[in-house]
Amino acid sequence: MGFPNRNQIFGSDSNRNSVLDVRDTIARPSLDTFYEVDFSFGKTDRWLGSIGKNRTQGNGLKRKMSLLCTQAEIPGTSFVPSTAIGHHQGIQEEFPNLRNFPPLNLVFYCDADQVIIQVLESWMSYINPIFTDLEESQAYSRFNYPEDYKEDISITKFERDTFIEHSRGSSYRSHISQFKFKNVWPSNMTSMRVAYGDSNVLRCTIQFAYDRFFTSYTKRADQKRAVLNSVDDIVNTNSTQEAIDIQKSYDQKQKEEYDALSAQEKMNKSGLGWYNLGGLL
């Protein structure tokens, strides 16, 4: 086979996509610099209080935190499997048992008014506040109720042409992906080093725990059948209840026929490979 000719590279070959055919696909990658983090705080009056507009430069607390969030993460997830042995002879199977959600890590530029540090530290202090004088040697703390400090955070991923009416002469605009984290609370705030020498922007890294997240394109269980137990009550199945009732009726009939046989006939049937009726016998 020789080198590809001009028509194979730039033409329309029925057996091969040309460069022109795939240009619009490979030339539009997603860039990691286009995103926005939205802090849907609804309980700041409990764990934070009020912050003056002068310290937020008139943008509001949520808007200022969104602008100063310099790094975020599109979440991953994993399943914890359970091993099932013996459901099918000679086969070892794995089924999902628990879904894990890794922590959410955010990085903020710290402003000169220290609003970011105050918000995060106040949030964590409210979760486990000191109930006595702060300087008392016999001080003790208690935990507040999760309903009072768990919040929601959203991350929106978009592209440079998402909000442009006509991009490069085309009416097509890139879609957005939105991730919403439910019941978020700060679990770990890392130390921030300060030192003499070259000046750098102070950054605050915070780790959040949450119950779950969902996206705007997550598959939902609308108009889906409920998960039912199978006829042997061992594994789950998506069979309808009618199909399960039919199978149980058939198994009961098999059992009655087997019980009506004599001992010798039962032995002969077993030798011929009579099916085991499981829990019915």
CA pair distance 41, 149, nearest whole angstrom: 9
What pLDDT, on the 0 to 100 scale, is given for residue 42?
92
- For residue range 3-52, what is the model confidence (pLDDT) as tens digits? 877 766 666 555 555 566 676 777 788 999 999 999 999 999 999 988 98
pTM summary value = 0.71
Q: What are the pLDDT digits (tens) for 184-204?
A: 999 999 999 999 999 999 999
Please give, one letter per residue, the 3-state secondary structure of the chain. Answer: CCCCCHHHHHCCECCECCHHHHHHHHCCCCCCCCEEEEEECCCHHHHCCCCCCCCCCCCCHHHHHHHHEEECCCCCCEEEEEEEECCCCCCEEEEEEEEECCCEEEEEECCCCCHHHHHHHHHHHHHCCECCCCCCCCCCECCCCHHHCCEEEEEEECCCCCCCCCECCECCCCCCEEEEEEEEEEEEECCCCCCCCCCCCCEEEEEEECCEEEECCCCCCCCCCCCEECCCCCCEECCCHHHHHHHHHHHHHHHHHHHCCCHHHHHHHHHCCCCCCHHHC
* For residues 210-219, average pLDDT: 84
**Residues found in the chain:** 281
Q: Is the pLDDT of residue 234 over 80?
A: no
Mean pLDDT for the chain overall = 82
Q: Could you tell me the CA-to-CA distances from 268 to 107, 273, 280 in Å, in that order?
A: 74, 9, 20
The tokens for 92 are 């070892």
- The mean per-residue pLDDT over the stretch 113-139 comes to 92
The one-letter amino acid code at 227 reads V
Query: Is the pLDDT reported for residue 278 higher than 60?
Result: no
Angle at 154 between CA 96 and CA 106, to 5 degrees: 90
Q: Does 136 have pLDDT greater than 80? A: yes
Over residues 145-184, the pLDDT tens digits come to: 999 999 999 999 998 888 877 655 566 778 889 999 999 9
Q: How far is CA 146 from the centre of its chain?
A: 20
What whole-number distance in Å separates Cα of residue 169 and Cα of residue 175?
Answer: 17
Residue with the bigger pLDDT between 238 and 33: it is 33
- Give the confidence band of 124 by pLDDT, cuts at 50, 70, 90: very high
Token look-up 């310290």 returns 55
> Distance between CA 217 and CA 122 in Å, rounded?
34
Domain 31-215: give its CATH architecture: Roll (2.30)
- CB pairs under 8 A, 24+ apart, for 80-84? 84/235
Q: pLDDT-based confidence at 279, cuts 50/70/90? A: very low
Residue 227, pLDDT above cutoff 80: no
Q: Beta 35-40 vs 151-157: how paired, if at all?
A: antiparallel
Average pLDDT over residues 239-248: 67
Considering the chain, tell me which residue range(s) the CATH 2.30.110 domain(s) occupy: 31-215
Residue 270 has pLDDT above 60, yes or no: no
